[in-house]
Amino acid sequence: MKGSLLYEGKAKKVYTTDESDQLILSYKNDATAFNGKKKDEFEGKGRLNNLITSNIFEYLHQHQLETHFIKALNETEQLVKKTTIIPLEVVVRNVAAGSITRRLGIEERTRFTPPLVELFYKKDELNDPIINDAHAYHLTDVTEEELSSIKQMARMINEQLMGLFREVGLQLVDFKLEFGRLEDGTIVLADEISPDTCRLWDLETGEKMDKDVFREDIGNLIDTYETILQRLEAYTCAK
Ligand code: TMP
Ligand code: ASP
């Protein structure tokens, strides 16, 4: 049963449940970008990100990658294991796009082999700055061993997701992950994986099929996310 509201973020609300080690995530229709400076609301977005994340986390479980996800409860809510989020945004990049093109003057569409893993400090007041490992040890409780395992998990998740998205005609350009600590200290993948947190380009047309349609005002967000969900469902149901 859904308990009290524990926390409200930009894209989700978090509720307690009857079980002390489980939480309910409720996906909102709000869209924000550029650290909340651009805002809008899209009817149906919460449903799409909930169902897309659920589909992807189930796929990761089938490939022995552990996450906080337990099950989707309804169209906009999912049950997850309770974790304490480590305030790091772990970004994996296969192809240059977004902030790295501006920060380092790398041309968009340049390939990274091997993929790059970057760390950002999750702190709205500071605009989520990019940080290095030493900063992460100072700013969070993560140990050297844990950070190395987080980066390894991020690379393995990237391998699986590149394969999944390729099967549905999409190139996984980059994405952001967050990890959380279970009560026993184990670190697992948490938060969401959706077109809000990934860059996805259509393999045939090169068209952007993610939150960049909102950031850059270049298309219909709901139609785009619906296409992603339908392609993922068609692939995972057929298997
Ligand atoms: P960036 O190019 O802005 O650094 O973003 C890299 C990837 O991480 C992109 O797929 C979007 C995702 N991302 C988030 O999900 N949340 C964020 O707060 C940021 C900055 C990026
Ligand atoms: N998610 C971040 C924000 O809302 C950055 C972005 O996606 O553009 O500020």
Same domain membership, residue 72 and residue 11: yes
Same domain membership, residue 190 and residue 171: yes
What pLDDT, on a 0 to 100 scale, did the predictor assign at position 52?
98
What pLDDT, on a 0 to 100 scale, did the predictor assign at position 110?
98
Name which residue sits closest to atom 4 of ligand 2, judged by CA. 33
Q: What is the CATH number of the domain that holds 77?
A: 3.30.200.20
Q: What is the CATH number of the domain that holds 92?
A: 3.30.470.20
The closest-lying atom of ligand 2 relative to the alpha carbon of residue 37 is 9
For the chain, list residues with pLDDT below 50: none
What pLDDT, on a 0 to 100 scale, did the predictor assign at position 16?
98
Same domain membership, residue 94 and residue 75: no
Any atom of ligand 2 within 6 Å of the Cβ of 10: yes
Give me the DSSP letters along 1-52.
Answer: -EEEEEEE-SSEEEEEESSTTEEEEEE-SEEEETTTTEEEE-TTHHHHHHHH
Any atom of ligand 2 within 6 Å of the Cβ of 127: no
Q: Which residues form the domain of 116?
A: 84-219
What pLDDT, on a 0 to 100 scale, did the predictor assign at position 237?
84
Name which residue sits closest to atom 6 of ligand 2, judged by CA. 33
Residue 226 lies in a domain: no
